[in-house]
């Protein structure tokens, strides 16, 4: 049984999701250059972020950050993100389900030693929620990725179109 209240909540969350998807799903380009980058070996030792970029968006809107995370010599758990340009930053994953794009928070993402993870449109992304200023092409967005060990990976992500 679905009450009227549950139904309206469901509708509301669908609207919210549609708005967020517009901000972060974008065109999915399977087999594009992004996956080639992922197979590049991580340089010895330390975790590293490469090829970061952020989608342009207006103040108050949402955007998303994409990059390739090389985990380094040890296993790594990505447990969060932060940026001074948005009220909140969350790690999300978009996926196809019954022909619809969905996304869900990924509070913890584990990487085995030597693994790399591609954050790209249509998949993993860091959602920048409620931008505190507009992000225009040519800007650079500071982004911090946090690991379970307490490390912070500092990223400078240029703003550009997909
Ligand atoms: Cu998202």
Ligand 1 centroid – CA 113 distance (Å): 26
Ligand 1 centroid – CA 18 distance (Å): 10
Locus of tokens 């990487």: 111
Assign 84 a pLDDT band (cuts: 50, 70, 90). very high
Ligand 1 centroid – CA 105 distance (Å): 7
Locus of tokens 């409620």: 130
| pTM for this entry | 0.74
Q: Under CATH, to which class is 4-158 assigned?
A: mainly beta
Residue whose C-alpha is closest to residue 21's, from 143, 142, 133, 125 = 125
Ligand 1 centroid – CA 60 distance (Å): 15
Ligand 1 centroid – CA 103 distance (Å): 6
Least confident residue range of 35-39, 85-89, 92-96, 139-143? 35-39
Ligand 1 centroid – CA 36 distance (Å): 23
Q: What is the pLDDT of residue 23?
A: 54
Q: What is the pLDDT of residue 97?
A: 87
Distance CA 73, CA 84 (A): 29
Residue whose C-alpha is closest to residue 141's, from 156, 120, 125, 162 = 156
Q: What is the pLDDT of residue 104?
A: 95
Ligand 1 centroid – CA 44 distance (Å): 31
CB 83 within 8 A of CB 142: yes
């Amino acid at each position: 049984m679905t009450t009227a209240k549950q139904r309206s909540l469901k509708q509301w969350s669908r609207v919210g999701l549609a708005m967020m998807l517009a901000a972060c799903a974008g065109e999915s380009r399977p087999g594009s250059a992004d996956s080639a980058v992922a197979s590049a070996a991580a340089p010895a030792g330390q975790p590293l972020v490469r090829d970061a970029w952020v989608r342009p968006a207006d103040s108050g809107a949402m955007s998303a950050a994409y990059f390739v995370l090389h985990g380094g010599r040890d296993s790594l758990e990505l447990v969060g993100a932060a940026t001074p340009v948005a009220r909140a930053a969350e790690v999300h994953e978009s996926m196809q389900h019954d022909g619809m794009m969905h996304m869900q928070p990924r509070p913890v993402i584990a990487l085995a030693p030597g693994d790399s993870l591609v954050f790209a449109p249509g998949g993993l992304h860091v959602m920048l929620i409620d931008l505190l200023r507009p992000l225009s092409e040519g800007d650079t967005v500071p982004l911090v990725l946090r690991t379970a060990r307490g490390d912070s990976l500092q990223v400078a992500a240029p703003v550009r179109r997909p």
